[in-house]
Amino acid sequence: GENVEQHPSTLSVQEGDSAVIKCTYSDSASNYFPWYKQELGKRPQLIIDIRSNVGEKKDQRIAVTLNKTAKHFSLHITETQPEDSAVYFCAASYNNDMRFGAGTRLTVKP
């Protein structure tokens, strides 16, 4: 089955700086790559996603890039704010079998 690796496991940035989280996947059949944000004690919620026919997608301060050849994708958050502090999960999916990375705990220092 699909295996998703996520790095780094923890990331600390100063408010206003950018944050980058990287993921790799193993199954070349995977065609959907979402990113979820989970605040402490809450449920995961989708923040952005990308499909395999697209190389990059942006939504205000967040962007995701996908390199199908290398089987890796990344989340970029610009102008980070304290409310961006959370755990972020990447995932890869084919035919609704969705597998998640282990998560990155992002801390934004004011």
Residue 62's φ and ψ, nearest 5 degrees, are -115, 150
Closer Cβ to other proteins, 1 or 110, answer by number: 1
Which residues are at the interface with other proteins (CB under 8 A)? 1, 6, 31-32, 34, 36, 43-46, 49, 89, 91, 93-103
Closer Cβ to other proteins, 36 or 84, answer by number: 36
Closer Cβ to other proteins, 3 or 67, answer by number: 3
Q: To 5 degrees, how large is the angle CA 13–CA 100–CA 89? A: 20
Task: Please report how close the Cβ of residue 43 comes to other proteins at its closest, in angstroms.
Answer: 4
Report residue 16 as tokens: 């206003």
Q: How far is CA 70 from CA 27, 40, 53, 63, 65, in A?
A: 11, 32, 14, 18, 12
Task: Please report how close the Cβ of residue 83 comes to other proteins at its closest, in angstroms.
Answer: 20
